[in-house]
């Protein structure tokens, strides 16, 4: 794909050849600490799906970027998604900007394939900002005593779920109740890998016949926990309450459960005396705690398509001037070069954007990072004006605050 010579080493960027490149991929994953020898066999399944670009030094793969196709919800709309699921660079591959270059090329290909938005899980905030990604909404991680759940829902005897049930688990994830920002990844082998990589993993759930309707997948630790809910799916409120009741039924032995708060509720509302319990357990193995953090990022690949999917609370029209840093990692010749440009945008119950300029409109100057965060409801316009590359006259900022009223996005899928 591209050949160059750096410090007397031959550098090449090319697609992965499966399964020939698997030994090198496994080595990279061991070097970055993602797997040990007992876990690396599942890497083969992971790379059997999706698309992978490699950067090689003297013929040996030293960096890989893996993507898969899926869907991402924006309010009630569902947009084609490119999920960047693994970016890894070996110990000798550092310092060449391989990760950024390969990721940019993968986004370019994804746009060609029809993806309108991209998302990834970040190792820290800042690196992927250079490729136009903006941080997603906060997730709340709760650690609590399941015995304090104020849930009196009837709990039928659940069925056991094993790693071999990954296809049913994947289907349940695809059929789960969706919210703004919900992610679906199409390849069920990715779920198979996640289940296999869960330490002491086991599942409990419910269904009809061969169909799994709602479930929890947990990582067990010791006799009393903490148990960690790593994956959860349900289709309605009754099923959610049934799963919480199932967690409560474990409380005679399990002292603490850790999980991401479901998007539909605040767990604190369902706990008995949460502040007292937090104080009396502080500092111990089974301390009741709560943490908030944004672990994922997203970015628009197609401004026109994403705006067209958006429904505003109030109409607002403006001139949009977007900058996109991803262009600096592309060669500037063929294909998608990012989203930089001028757009006339009208947000309404039926929104639209078109390339061009209208001198009579107020102007919003912003990065694609910030505009993505605005559209998905991560932050208000007046907040983005403080924290991001986002500049507009105050009347336009206020109008955008009134127009863009969107629930905080939650992926519901770890990737």
pLDDT digit string (tens) for 284-319? Answer: 999 999 999 999 999 999 999 999 999 999 999 999
**Helix or strand or coil: residue 394?**
helix
Average pLDDT rounded to a whole number, residues 145-161: 93
Residue 51 sits in a domain of what CATH number? 3.40.630.30
What is the rounded CA–CA span in Å between residue 8 and residue 224? 57
Instruction: Establish if 10 belongs to a structural domain.
Output: yes
Residue 89, beta-bridge partner list: 63
Is the same domain home to 223 and 319?
Answer: no
Of 66, 99, 115, the one marking the end of a domain is: 115
- Please check whether residues 108 and 219 belong to one and the same domain: no
Sheet containing 316-323: give its strands across: 352-355, 341-347, 316-323, 363-367, 390-391
Residue that terminates a domain, selected from 59, 81, 115: 115
155 and 256 part of one domain: yes
Is the domain of 147 the same as that of 69? no
- Is 17 domain-assigned? yes
Residues 193 and 229 in one domain: yes
Cα 329 from Cα 197, distance rounded (Å): 33
What percent of the chain clears pLDDT 70, i.e. is strictly above it?
Answer: 98
Q: Which residues of 217-231 are buried (b: 16+ CB within 10 A; e: fewer)?
A: bbbebeeebbbbbbb
Same domain, yes or no: 45 and 71: yes
Examine residue 345 and state whether it is found in any structural domain, yes or no.
yes
Both 146 and 248 in one domain: the answer is: yes
pLDDT of residue 4: 59
Determine, yes or no, domain membership for 132.
no
Residue 286, SS3 per DSSP: coil
The residue with tokens 């996640």 is: 194
Q: Are residues 56 and 32 in the same domain?
A: yes
pLDDT in tens, 80-94: 999 999 999 999 999
Q: Are residues 161 and 210 in the same domain?
A: yes
CATH of residue 363's domain is 3.30.1050.10
- Of the candidates 46, 44, 26, 45, the residue with the CA atom closest to the CA atom of residue 90: 26
Range of the domain at 336: 302-403
Same domain, 283 and 307: no
Tell me whether strands 296-300 and 183-185 are parallel, antiparallel or unpaired: unpaired
Class of residue 252 by CB neighbours under 10 A (exposed 0-12, middle 13-18, buried 19+):
exposed
Q: How do the residues of the chain divide into helix, strand and coil, expressed in percent and rounded to 5?
A: 30, 30, 40
What would the mean pLDDT of 168-190 be, rounded to a whole number? Answer: 98
Q: At what angle do helices 188-197 and 166-174 cross, to 10 degrees?
A: 120
Tell me, yes or no, whether 31 lies in a domain.
Answer: yes
Query: In the predicted model, what is the mean pLDDT of the chain?
Result: 96
CA atoms within 13 A on the CB side of 142: 18
**pLDDT exceeds cutoff 60 at 391:** yes
Q: What is the pLDDT of residue 210?
A: 87
Q: Is 413 a domain residue?
A: no
Question: End-to-end CA distance of the chain, in Å?
Answer: 27
- Quick check: is 129 in a domain? no
Q: Do residue 13 and residue 152 come from a single domain?
A: no
Domain termination site, one of 267, 293, 319: 293
Q: Report the percent of the chain where pLDDT is more than 90.
A: 93
Question: Which pLDDT score, from 0 to 100, does residue 396 have?
Answer: 98
Q: How many domains does the chain have?
A: 3
Q: Are residues 289 and 307 in the same domain?
A: no
In this structure, is residue 127 part of a structural domain?
no
The helix/strand/coil state of 389 is: coil
Helix (H, G, I), strand (E, B) or coil at 158: coil
Residue 70: is its pLDDT beyond 80? yes
């Amino acid at each position: 794909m591209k050949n160059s010579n750096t410090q007397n080493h031959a550098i090449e960027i090319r697609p992965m050849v499966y399964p020939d490149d698997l030994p090198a991929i496994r080595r990279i994953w061991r070097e970055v600490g993602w797997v040990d020898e007992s876990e690396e066999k599942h890497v083969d399944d992971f790379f059997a799906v999706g698309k992978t670009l490699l950067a090689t030094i003297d013929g040996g793969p030293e960096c890989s970027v893996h993507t898969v196709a899926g869907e991402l919800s924006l309010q009630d709309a569902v947009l084609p998604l490119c999920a960047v699921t693994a970016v890894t660079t070996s110990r000798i591959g550092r310092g060449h900007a391989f990760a950024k270059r390969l990721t940019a090329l993968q986004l370019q290909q994804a746009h060609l394939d029809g993806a309108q938005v991209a998302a990834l899980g970040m190792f820290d905030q800042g690196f992927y900002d250079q490729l136009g990604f903006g941080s997603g909404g906060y997730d709340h991680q709760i650690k609590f005593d399941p015995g304090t759940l104020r849930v009196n829902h009837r709990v039928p005897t659940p069925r056991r779920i094993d790693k071999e049930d990954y296809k049913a688990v994947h289907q349940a994830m695809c059929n789960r109740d969706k919210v703004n920002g919900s992610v679906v990844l199409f390849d069920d082998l990715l779920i198979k890998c996640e289940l296999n990589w869960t330490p002491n993993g086991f599942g409990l759930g419910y269904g009809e016949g061969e169909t799994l309707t709602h479930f929890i997948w947990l990582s067990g630790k010791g006799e009393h926990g903490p148990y960690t809910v790593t994956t959860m799916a349900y289709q309605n409120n009754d099923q959610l309450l049934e799963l919480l009741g199932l967690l409560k039924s474990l409380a005679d032995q399990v002292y603490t459960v850790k999980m991401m708060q479901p998007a539909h509720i605040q767990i604190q509302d369902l706990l008995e005396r949460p502040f007292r319990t937090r104080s009396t357990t502080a500092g111990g193995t089974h301390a009741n705690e709560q943490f908030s953090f944004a672990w994922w990022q997203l970015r628009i690949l197609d401004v026109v398509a994403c705006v067209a999917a958006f429904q505003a609370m109030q109409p607002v029209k403006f001139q949009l001037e977007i900058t996109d840093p991803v262009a600096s990692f592309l060669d500037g010749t063929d294909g998608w070069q990012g989203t930089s440009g001028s757009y006339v945008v009208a947000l309404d119950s039926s929104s639209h954007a078109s390339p061009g300029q209208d001198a009579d409109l107020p102007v919003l100057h912003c990065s694609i990072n910030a505009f993505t965060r605005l559209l998905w409801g991560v932050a208000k316009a007046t907040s983005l004006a403080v924290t991001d590359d986002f500049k507009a006259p105050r009347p336009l900022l206020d109008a955008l605050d009134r127009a863009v009223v969107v629930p905080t996005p939650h992926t519901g899928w770890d990737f």
